[in-house]
A = this chain, B = another copy of it.
Amino acid sequence: MKAHILRKFIDEVWNRGRIDAIPGYIADTYHIVHDPGDPWEGLTLDKAAFQDRVATSRQPIPDQNFEIQTLHENEDSVCITWCWQGTHLGDIAGFPASGKLLHMSGATVYYFDGDRISGHWQVADRLSIYQQLQANLV
């Protein structure tokens, strides 16, 4: 059940950018426990702030796609590993749009409160993205 909800959430919200679907997936508060490099790390977001986070994150990479590699479900959380890709069409941390395809992998534990997602713990291979952004400057 949680696995099914999470797969739909990743597909609709993060991959297809359906901001309006967010209130149906997340809890009234969403806590970002651990997410090095994410501007929202440590914060607790309400639904509007979460919508803003997704819109802002997707803006420079509108075709971004998370492909789930593995999925493990516990009583109150789901852990996924993923490969991500997207076309660099806007400014990312000061790197102007390159039009190049970017790749990254990572893992996320999503915490659930009943059937709503209430937060996450995430890590990603940010060095890989940094190296691609540097290379695309040339």
A binding-site residues for B, Cβ under 8 Å: 34, 36-37, 69-70, 72-74, 77-79, 81, 105-107, 109, 121, 123-128, 130
Contact = CB atoms under 8 A, between A and B. Distances in A.
Contacts of A77: 70, 72
A37 B127 contact: yes
A71 to B, nearest CB: 8
Contacts of A70: 77, 79, 109, 121
A106 B78 CA distance: 16
Nearest to A103: B36
Contacts of A121: 69-70, 81
Nearest to A109: B70
Number of copies of this protein chain within its complex:
2
B109 A81 contact: yes
A124 to B, nearest CB: 7
A23 B73 CA distance: 30
Given A72-B72, A73-B72, A106 B81 contact: no
A68 to B, nearest CB: 12
Contact of A107 (B73, B81, B126, B128): B81
A67 to B, nearest CB: 12
Given A34-B105, A36-B127, A105-B123, 12 more contacts: A36-B125, A37-B127, A70-B121, A72-B74, A72-B79, A72-B109, A81-B121, A106-B123, A107-B107, A125-B127, A126-B126, A126-B127
